[in-house]
Structure 1
Amino acid sequence: MAHNDQARRVALVTGASGGIGRATAERLGRDGMAVVVHYAGNQQRAEETVKAIVEAGGQASAVAADIGDPDQAAALFAEAEALRGGVDVVVNTAGIMILGPLAEMDVDDFDRMHRTNVRGAFLVSQQAARRLRPGGALINFSTSVTRLQQPGYAAYAATKGAVEAMTLILARELRGRDVTVNAVAPGPTATPLFLQGKSEQLIDQIASQGPMGRLGEPGDIAEVVAFLAGPGRWVNGQVLYANGGAA
């Protein structure tokens, strides 16, 4: 789609206050979309994302919501519609990651991940299915760990496996709606979520394992999202592994 085509569209990006979410929000803003920047708790970072989009010539607004709460998830979409007239693209990057061997994982930590990563993805997908305008796109987020099968990631990967299942089935449930539904599965990406708790040595080791010899950057993932949100209309019901060949 040309820039002028995108300029009539509205994108709602969850978890857009940092990392891949922020990079995606800024990328879609550069494409000409009006962006609704969702955040859960860090208003300052969300406003920084809005400022970056506006200073680059785009349109953006920040809206807070707990996407694990049905009423707040619905209110988030209602606010986006009130601000911008409708929603054409939903990018659901919001998620948390708690690592540890399955045998030692605290069930409360598992439940926290499930609430955001699975319940949140379900509620956002449900609202998107009900509200996206024709020509729209829903992009959920999985992880390449579902292929890499790294020790310590069992609980996290399980939540993302659930997201993949919901995404692929929803794409088929929306037959005739002219709405695409896909998931992006990043590999190791230099975000605060990934870097937290890792030594420089471990980060360098992970970066060297892939054929590209580096970690992904949030902007690398944002480019994949922009394709699915715009020109990639013939890609539907797929999981795209954006990992530089690491898996």
Structure 2
Amino acid sequence: MSGPSRGSEIRVAVVDDHPMFRLGMVALLETLDDIAVVGQASSAAEAEATVGADVDVVLMDLELGDGNGIDVTRTLVRAHPDLRVLVVTMHEDDDSVFAAIRAGARGYLLKGATPAEVERALRAVANGEMILGPAVAARAMGYVAGTRTTGGGAFPELTDREREVLDLVARGHDNTAISRRLSLSPKTVRNVVANVLTKLNLPDRSAAIVRAREAGLGLDPD
């Protein structure tokens, strides 16, 4: 699909677990020409039940009470390949941005975006473009320039921390051992491993070990 499926009208669903923000966004969208709000959801489960083939664009928050917007984005895009997802969130860290894009999001805005920026991003995403808000774009350029990575080594898309954890995974350490070794909480280690799998498009830990060792990680003795 190269754009909205029903003439010039863009059919939009808003997914956000904060009622005031969700209702405010809906109110904004309803003032815009040729944009129709056809669904709202306050949770991951509601989003998956609400968003169907009749939706052109989903405005997606990343923090949902019963899940996260990255997983929901991945599920919805797999179910509806023509769907466009525009993330609208408070999170501006590199990991969130790139995890969302890898999950299938076509745009990424911060919640501080102006109404004009929201409209421009929504229309651009509906037309098949990839768009990042100004603040996110600046961070993305820094990422590409290598400010968050060592550059030139294996897996330049990973942060230094993610590569460090992947190296330990490839050496056969479990999450508990990694958390002790790096003085991180087990939850943080789990999240880092999940980010690595997402960024490298790998199905599980075993695949990560194989891929890492093929790239030369995990081979040096502890």
Task: Answer whether TM exceeds 0.5 for this pair.
Answer: no
Structure with the bigger RCO (C-alpha within 8 Å, sep 6+) is 1
Q: Normalising by structure 1, what TM-score?
A: 0.31
Larger of the two Rg values belongs to structure: 2
